[in-house]
Structure 1
Amino acid sequence: MLVFILNAGSSSLKYQLMNPTTKEVLAVGLCERIGIDGILKHEFGEGQKLTLEIPMPTHKEAIELVLKTLVESEGKVINSVDDIDAIGHRAVHGGEEFASSVMVTDKVIAKMKELIPLAPLHNPANIMGMEICQQLMPGKPNVAVFDTAFHQTMPDYAYMYALPHDMYTKHGIRKYGFHGTSHYFVSNEARAMLDKKQNTRIIVCHLGNGSSVSAVLNGKCIDTSMGLTPVQGLMMGTRAGDVGAGAISYMMTRENLTIDQALDVMNKKSGILGISGKSSDLREVLEGMQNGDDKCRLAVDMVAYNIKKYVGAYVAALDGVDALCFTGGIGENAALIREKVCAGLDSMGLVIDPVKNNRKSRDARDIATNGSASRIFVIPTNEEFVIANDTFKIVSELQK
């Protein structure tokens, strides 16, 4: 089965064409600047790349261009759109309605539209991608795979905020969590690496421009760092993470900010960028630290300390830990962050091996010392495979 994987953003569109049974990726690409001028970056074959600058007024033209590129241009990898068996969509917010991936129907789209207030930037784009694919490829099954679904197993005492209870019953204000496909994939890979399916206590640190930590007990999420929105939790590329409500109110008063302006500061001007004053890219900040920039040093220390606090909290929540996992662009590549996070965690059974930690590899690996009571894994994530595999399973079941 060939699955066309789509991740529609407000002005961008990421895609892959994958066979989930073999994990073979035929093509991967990105449409940028939709509605402005339009750039398509398409990769296929043995590292071949194609870049096209073509106007894309809307997502419809972008998806049409992608399909044409897959079947007609020098980037061709299939003979016809008919070779695509199903479409798997990344869907950011499923609220409490969707605890698993589902076939896209009119009822599902209607429910996703009701959830737009919870994800006003993401859900409209996700829905648009689904509706356009239904138009351009009529009869092809579409599946929605939700970022929030994996976290729906959290107990109420973990996901509730200590606000008046009717804030939850009336408005759905609670912790939902995100990056669920990554946390699901990595935690299952860790269980396989442990060769242990029962009584597994796993902490996953998904670290990139957006970052989150999850506590996973026997394959089920019991807590995660992100909340109602992705701004809660860890300090990230441009997001502030956990900030007290009093500090936000005081900042708004002193700077004469509206709530929208304050949210803009917390989402786009804070985090690594806000502290370093240099960049939201940790690689540039690490370089700045090495060159003696103290604000860059502070940003690096804060990133590691924030992660370490959540790891400690989740060891307590899980009553121990079998494996601590690092994934995402920072988690997989920043050895110094892994070192700083694990420093002093010996009493929790987590002892990092400095040689293994600094050894570069693209493969999943154990970087704990041989004598460490718990394992420390670096596991490359594969969210697209989760989307493709869920799509394959749902469509195959319907075809029986």
Structure 2
Amino acid sequence: MQQDTTGRPFLLAAYAFAVAMCGTTLPTPLYQYYQRQLGFSPLMVTVIFAVYAVGVIVALLLLGQVSDSVGRRPVLLAGLALSALSAACFLFERGLPELFAGRVLSGLSAGLFTGTATAAVVELAPRRWAGAATLAATAANMGGLGSGPLLAGLLAQYAPDPLRQVFLVDLALVAVAVVGVLLIPETVRDRGRGAALRPRRLHVPPSVRPAFVPAAMAGFAGFATMGLFTSVAPSFLSDVVGIGAPAVSGTVVFVLFAASTAGQMLMGRVGVHRALPWGCVVLVAGMAVIFASLLAASLPLMVAGAVVAGTGQGLSFRAGVTAVGAYSPPERRAEVTSALFVVLYVAISIPVVGVGAMAVALGLRLSGLVFTACVALLAATTAVLLALRPVESGAGAG
């Protein structure tokens, strides 16, 4: 394949990545509308959110490597088709079945896109941008995730028909992304080998575990925080802080993802082996600020907590993925990285369902306080573990 020097295919792939990820978080500021319309509890909000992670994990396990066999473009187009079907479920929603179907389809789309689009963006980057290609893929991923709540919140507040308008806009964005993917060249040369739909192995070799365990612990804490913000943060703002404006809740979630992107960019300056423990320390500080925001019912503290926690999550997440990749033998790297992402997507779902269950019995404020304390404890434990047994560079990578 002759490489395009204009950068257009690279930008089109990054745009498609951002649009697909944007679709996965669009419902965040809208859950309060569905809750009022259908009369369900905070627990049901978290369950609706959590089935998204089920879709992601299924796609990662069954289809994580399929683009290596059939090519990047067909998988990207399939992911966009699933994203459009998810938007259609929300657009024509009549009750809980459509909400659940929309979230599962959204998860399948994200599971297909995460690995495939990252590979496509890196492979399509012109040589002059090669050093920043991985970071560009990360920015497209996190930027899309953060843009979803912001876009939905603004449209819900200022456009008519808040539960329909945003998904019409999303379908238009997806349509443009489909055209963009059709215009990019295929980067996989040896196609047509076939890809069996069987679960991927999730074995982590003993030599990789010194890096995998702290990376998984730190990632679990960080992704649980992201799950909390993208599921019940609007409820916290409405019921605890007293601010129900969807534009505000969407902006708060956007701030978290923007801070995560900044933290991932910062890791290059800090270095992998300092970024992993220090990211955990920053995440603990962010949890402390969020804890204080819930006690004081303070929006400024909630925003500050999102900034600090997001930065810590970004630092530790990128450092963890990098360390695990360095430790893993090349022939096992995809397998081990998949195992790490399965842990992370379990983290994004199970804890927030626990928050929803606690909220029914104890109220949102107390359940949020318990959650932030638990995440802070896990992140602090990981930091102490890393201080006692640092991850050595290069070990086990052979």
Q: TM class, shorter-chain normalised? A: under 0.3
Q: Looking at both structures, which has the greater relative contact order when contacts are Cα pairs under 8 Å and sequence separation is at least 6?
A: 2
Please tell me whether Structure 1 or Structure 2 has the larger radius of gyration of its CA atoms.
1
Question: Which has a greater percent of strand?
Answer: 1
